[in-house]
Amino acid sequence: MIPLIATLTLNPTIDLACEAAEVRPVRKIRTTAERADPGGGGINVARVVQELGGETLAIFLAGGVTGRFLEELLDEIALPRRSLPIAGRTRISQTVLDRSRGEEFRFVAEGPEVAEAEWQAVLRALEVLPPGSWLVASGSLPRGVPEDIYGRIGDLARRRGLRLVLDSSGPALRAGLGHGAELIKPSLGEFEALVGRPLGAPGALEEAASALVAGGAARRIAVTLGQDGALLAHAGGTLRLPALPVTVRGAVGAGDSFVAAMVLALARGAAEADAFAWGVAAGAAAVSQAGTAHPARADVAALRARLAPPPG
């Protein structure tokens, strides 16, 4: 039986996306192709897990009229959820595609402040997840949540028999290292910030990721490299896969799609190289679609078939 993949989003968002002929200062910008998606790292992961046929539960903080709108958007797609109330309003973020330049402008709101009683409720909610579940904690921290929250969640996961996956950045990611995570997935920029140096020299990325795995930071580290593909470090060594050639229509949620597909494959018992390839395929499928984290199952499977996993 495939275990549950639960996700945690402490700072969810409503992602508004649209297109404009040209983005220019001062002038009124007329937009088209408007859409609203439920967003935030863990919510994106849960949506993709559901699309790919996995069992999931999205756990998130939500508040105000925007929080109710977020819940409505999730109910429209029948995504299993547990929303935990907060006094503040759920944030709204905006992405605008400038068609004249083919460039995407992303405006990401800071979000509400979360009280101690509100984030403590998150820890209590995780306590009731069934042992053996995977828990994907993903995204930024809202104001008021302690920087070491992912470390606390890692300790809780080990005690409860949960398999933690962490996808964050900065102090929140650093605080989560060494607490038994099965996988962390930074981007290259996030990983360079984590280790405190650029990693452009040949072999530098492999060496740094392998050192963190050997030191017990996490069991696996997947670093997404944009147009250069991705790297996976694990106890058996390192693997690289190239980016798949697709027409890019939007990048929001591509990393979350990668995480969703890789974790689902691992939960289904796939070998690390195979799971890694599923992640790369889902990331490519996501960027080929507009909106937030919208890879279609058939597209992911087709791209996976084009991608032979490296040995390992």
What is the rounded CA–CA span in Å between residue 100 and residue 206? 38
Helix 272-287 and helix 254-267: axis angle, to 10°?
Answer: 150
Angle between helical axes of 254-267 and 41-51 (0-180°, round to 10): 50
Q: Distance between CA 87 and CA 262 in Å, rounded? A: 35
Under DSSP, the state recorded for 226 is G
Distance CA 22, CA 255 (A): 27
Q: Which of 228, 256, 274, 299 is catalytic?
A: 256
256 is an active site residue: yes
Q: Where are the alpha helices (DSSP H) in the chain?
A: 41-51, 64-76, 116-127, 149-160, 170-176, 188-195, 204-214, 254-267, 272-287, 297-305
Which of 250, 266, 270, 260 lies closest to 300 in space, CA to CA? 260
- Active-site residue set: 256
